[in-house]
Amino acid sequence: MPDEIDLNNIPDVDELWELVKEYRVVTNKCFRDIFVKVWYVLPDTDNYHATTNFSILTPGQATPYKPFPCHRDMNLVILQAITGLTSFVKDTYPPECVFWIERDDWINAGTYFDNNGMEVTKAAAAERINEYLDKHSDI
């Protein structure tokens, strides 16, 4: 993919991430567009990685899911990043129990939104999910 870069010549650098492509994904599963970035990581030159601007939290999940697929096939990492998020959104979940976390950094920090696009606190999201689970014990 990129020209050969010898990381041994760059002091204090273990990996170098090159942004290869960025996609804007429009889906009815999310209140806002999802952005998928595809990275080529050196020295791991055989693999692509994908990141998204959102994590997702729905009933039945212990923690928010954030896709971070890695594979030699760029199309596969794009597919895994998108379906990894949207597969959690079930038609049976009301929009106020599906939470998209707009990621500020590489961990789960970020702003919580329900699937109506309303900003909520992390505590309010947990409370709504617990109320939903109390009513629907089959999950």
Could you report the per-residue pLDDT of 86-137, keeping only the tens digit for each?
999 998 899 999 999 987 655 556 899 999 999 999 999 999 999 999 998 7
Pairing of strands 34-42, 16-25: antiparallel
- The residue type at 132: Y
Residue 10 lies in a domain: no
**If pLDDT is split at 50, 70 and 90, which confidence band does 1 have?**
very low
User: How many structural domains does the chain have?
Assistant: 1
In a domain, 3, yes or no: no
Q: What is the pLDDT of residues 47-74, one digit of tens each?
A: 899 989 999 999 988 888 888 888 999 9
The pTM (predicted TM-score) of the whole model is: 0.80
Residue at 128 is within a domain: yes
Task: Establish if 124 belongs to a structural domain.
Answer: yes
| pLDDT confidence of residue 131 | 93
- Taking a C-beta distance cutoff of 8 angstroms, is the pair 55, 64 a contact? yes
- Percentage above 70 pLDDT, the chain: 86
Q: Any long-range contacts for 105-113 (C-beta under 8 Å, 24+ apart)?
A: 108/55, 108/63, 108/64, 108/66, 110/55, 112/57, 113/31, 113/32
Domain range for 105? 15-135
Kindly list the distances between the CA atom of residue 86 and the CA atoms of 10, 22, 26, 108, 111, in Å, as whole numbers in the listed order: 39, 18, 11, 17, 18
5 in any annotated domain: no
In a domain, 80, yes or no: yes
Within-domain flag for 78: yes
